[in-house]
Amino acid sequence: APGSRVVIEKPFGEDRTSARELTALLHSLCLERDVFRADHFLHHQSVQDLLALRFANPFFEPMWNCEHLERVEITWEETAGVAGRAGYYDRVGALRDMVQSHLLQLLALVAMDAPATFDEHGLRDAKVAALRRVRSFTADEVATQTARGRYTSGRVQDQPRNGYLDEPGVDPARGTETHACLQVMVVDHRWAGVPFVLRTGKALGRARRRISLHFRASAGLPSATPAVLTVDMAPDRVWLQLNGAGPPGLPALSSLRLEATRPAQPLPASARLLRDVLAGDPTFAVRDDETEQCWRIVDSVLAGWRTGAPPLQDYAAGSAGPAPPIG
């Protein structure tokens, strides 16, 4: 009916083929702009601050490239396990649950070129163009540039935590991962040689929910610690790690941290998402072509994992997680 909207929570399908089939079904019933593939990450104040920092301040965008940036890290690691959600989680795992839906969306916001407009067309066109430039993984790259793990029993913040396989509803034969790490490459002139490290996991020793852009070391003062721009999603804050003159003066250096923390927002991310749905504004909803590109990338990883490489690593609950990729 006119004015109706369809809101779908992730994951949208279980692979690229099923996502296409689901999209075809939806398009037989309604227009694409009335489909809201919900991703509350895109409604975090700090995530939208990232766009404003980059495009509303003239000194960041000229440095937003491989000449100045060494790597980008996008991390969502939690101390919580899967208690109460094992029936769902065991069918999807960390890669489908977090990387396909959330972290690749954040990658697109970082990697995209400046949108022609910041509306439902321009922003999403820029994101999908960036996702199309993400290279699919070969079997060899899956073995060397990804890692996966599953938590065993341990202590998280001094509280005992059962291992994943001890949770009701978990089928050990599935080999479901609770931690995933990928080194993703964007194939274009802006990002040549810059790895995007996507990392997510459950039952870890500390929570980290952030996007960090690591700048290259300064040629003028080789002893300088490379600068880091970090956007933290929980709590909403931004900080820039810089170098200043040390107490004796140059060439001695000391670390400076410029930080801004947002006051509590009147609407949480999920409420902002609902507001957009009610207003019929799909700017921060995930479009069909974005979803398909995210599945293309994730499917290439899953294909490699089905061969057994890299092996699923056990990590103790409360630890830092499995070893990173070897590549």
Contact 106, 232 (CB under 8 A): no
Catalytic: 102?
yes
Q: Which residue among the candidates 40, 43, 44, 102 is catalytic per the annotation?
A: 102
H/E element, 191: none
DSSP-derived pairing of the beta strands 253-261 and 236-245:
antiparallel
CB-based burial of residue 326 (10 Å sphere; 0-12 exposed, 13-18 middle, 19+ buried)? exposed
Torsion of CA 43, 45, 46, 50, to 10 degrees: 80
Residue 159 φ/ψ, nearest 5 degrees: -115, 140
Kindly state the tokens that stand for 85.
Answer: 């959600």
Nearest to 200 by CA among 191, 188, 209, 213: 209
Give the Cα separation of 150 and 204 in Å (integer). Answer: 11
Token pair of 46 as six digits: 């700090």
Catalytic residues: 102
